[in-house]
Amino acid sequence: MSNPGTADNPLRVAVVGCGPSGFYVADAVLKTPGLVAQVDMFDRLPTPYGLVRYGVAPDHQEVKRVTKVYAKTAEHPSVRWFGGVEFGKHLTMDDVRAHYHAVAFTTGAQTDRRLDIPGEDLQGSHPATQFVAWYNGHPDCRHLSFDLSTERAVVIGVGNVAIDVARMLCRTPDELAKTDIADYALEALRKSRVREVLLVGRRGPAQAAFTNSEVEEVGELADADAVARPDEVALDEVTKADLAAHPDRQTDLKLKFLTKYAEPRALSKSKRLVFRFLLSPTKIHGDASGRVSGVTLVRNVLSAGADGSIKAKATGQTEEVSAGLVFRSVGYRGVALPGVPFREDWGTIPHEAGRVVDLARKAPVTGAYVAGWIKRGPSGVIGTNRACAVETVKSLAADLAAGKLLAPSAPRDAVTALLKGRGVSWVTFPEWSKVEALEVARGAAAGRPRVKFCSPEEIVAAARG
């Protein structure tokens, strides 16, 4: 038989994880010049698109349009999509070796980073990851509940996820009802008594991780005022020197928005989204029943490290904030996959230019590749994952040319027989397309982009109906 990658011996690639990175890997494989390939894509969920469906905020529908591009990849005649097949449970590394020349892991960052402060696990203290997955109808999080009967919520972290969480808490029911937010979350937020949401950054406004369009957007909410404090928005000497040495127009614009929010004015709306800076939480307090009642924040000052980075250093000055809800939004974290190398300290799969590396042997794992958040860590917007996937597929193509891939013993269809033999019943892409059409039709009736099915049972029923 000829080398893999030809018409009589197509290159067989498994892609594990079907968020943006999985689709960009599949697309880059299919578009590699002169390569004939067959791609099998697996996701543990019966739905594709990862965080585009379950992370991107419901009021950012325009961002979700990228899924139309991914659908074209999934519909390519050389691609098979398997929804509801979990690597590590239904499919192992040995299975992959028997059936594919190569595998790309694109499983994203499935959990959250912790603050490691007392009170973090009190009732009412939640990772933002779970709140986000809940309001987006993620099958794993649909049963969660959040007590929205409190007046004040505190969000720790000032990245784009933190601002998504704060904005969703500050939107009116009418604003939310135009989105594809999960129905149960819409009902819960309709009854919400949250009136003030604090976004707490450990460094200053210039170092805040959120992007300008997100900061600007919260100044235009229907019934919430965006507020900041003049003393916290004013630049400290360390930041002034840093900006003088490295002028940055994006930072200037961000400061302009935040300075505007800090201007004294009559606040007319019923909710407030309050930016706080230079504060770190040191303790989350609970009441007698074990529910969150407040947070201790310590005031920080900034100092420049030897590497030029600007760090927060705690002073002794503290502030008590009463609140019934705390969301920690300090980053996502990758999860290890059985039989695949993993760096516990970074929460990523170790790699060199996308080739998975065995840390003990300090050598690449034959046929194993990685892309996206599980490769780089949990940062970067959707488009960042495209270049990341392209780098990975270039490494794969170079290894193919050098004869360094796996040599599967089983034919292509053996993997479907294997899964059936294990009692796995997966959702195909044509079936998913039926689910999506039904969701959109349910939405059209209610003037919404879609009404999501949130339980695996409902999704499978819609797929097979």
- Chosen residue from 37, 133, 154, 161 binding ligand NAP by CB under 6 A: 161
Interacting partner of 13 out of ligand NAP, ligand FAD, none (Cβ under 5 to 8 A depending on kind): none
Site residues for ligand FAD, 164-193, by CB under 6 A, read: 164
Q: CB nearer to ligand FAD: give 50 or 367.
A: 50
Give the C-alpha separation, 457 to 335, whole Å: 25
Check binding of 280 to ligand NAP (CB under 6 A): yes
Interacting partner of 158 out of ligand FAD, ligand NAP, none (Cβ under 5 to 8 A depending on kind): ligand NAP
Minimum gap (Å) between residue 211 Cβ and ligand NAP: 6
Which among 355, 374, 366 is positioned nearest to 87, based on CA atoms? 374
Q: CB nearer to ligand NAP: give 303 or 379.
A: 379
Stretch that binds ligand NAP, among 31-39, 183-191, 300-308, 323-331 (CB under 6 A): 323-331
Check binding of 197 to ligand NAP (CB under 6 A): no
Q: What's the angle, vertex CA 4, arms to CA 407 and CA 93, rounded to 5?
A: 35
Interacting partner of 443 out of ligand NAP, ligand FAD, none (Cβ under 5 to 8 A depending on kind): none
Check binding of 378 to ligand NAP (CB under 6 A): yes
Three-state SS sequence of the chain: CCCCCECCECEEEEEECCCHHHHHHHHHHHCCCCCCEEEEEEECCCCCCCHHHHCCCCCCHHHHCCHHHHHHHHCCCCEEEEECCCECCCECHHHHHHHCCEEEECCCCCEECCCCCCCCCCECEEEHHHHHHHHCCCCCCCCCCCCCCCCEEEEECCCHHHHHHHHHHHCCHHHHCCCCCCHHHHHHHHCCCCCEEEEECCCCHHHCCCCHHHHHHHHHCCCEEEEECHHHHCCCHHHHHHHHHCCCHHHHHHHHHHHHHCCCCCCCCCEEEEEECCEEEEEEEECCCCEEEEEEEEEEEEEECCCCCEEEEEEEEEEEEECCEEEECCCEECCCCCCCCCECCCCECCEECCEEEECCCCEEEEEEEECCHHHHCCCCCCCHHHHHHHHHHHHHHHHHHCCCCCCCCCCCCHHHHHHHHCCCCCECHHHHHHHHHHHHHHHHHCCCCCCCCCCHHHHHHHHHC
Minimum gap (Å) between residue 403 Cβ and ligand FAD: 29
Check binding of 349 to ligand FAD (CB under 6 A): no
Check binding of 112 to ligand FAD (CB under 6 A): no
Q: What is the largest distance, in Å, between two alpha-carbon atoms of the chain?
A: 77
Minimum gap (Å) between residue 161 Cβ and ligand FAD: 5
Q: CB nearer to ligand FAD: give 143 or 265.
A: 143
Minimum gap (Å) between residue 323 Cβ and ligand NAP: 16
- Chosen residue from 70, 81, 82, 87 binding ligand FAD by CB under 6 A: 87
Q: CB nearer to ligand NAP: give 178 or 434.
A: 178
Check binding of 106 to ligand FAD (CB under 6 A): yes
Minimum gap (Å) between residue 309 Cβ and ligand FAD: 23
- Chosen residue from 118, 339, 377, 380 binding ligand FAD by CB under 6 A: 380
Judge contact between 354 and 367, C-beta under 8 A. Answer: no
Check binding of 132 to ligand FAD (CB under 6 A): yes
- Chosen residue from 71, 76, 88, 301 binding ligand FAD by CB under 6 A: 88
Interacting partner of 137 out of ligand NAP, ligand FAD, none (Cβ under 5 to 8 A depending on kind): none
- Chosen residue from 11, 28, 41, 56 binding ligand FAD by CB under 6 A: 56
Check binding of 86 to ligand FAD (CB under 6 A): yes
Interacting partner of 201 out of ligand NAP, ligand FAD, none (Cβ under 5 to 8 A depending on kind): ligand NAP
Check binding of 374 to ligand NAP (CB under 6 A): no
Stretch that binds ligand FAD, among 44-52, 196-204, 357-365, 414-422 (CB under 6 A): 44-52
- Chosen residue from 168, 323, 330, 368 binding ligand NAP by CB under 6 A: 330
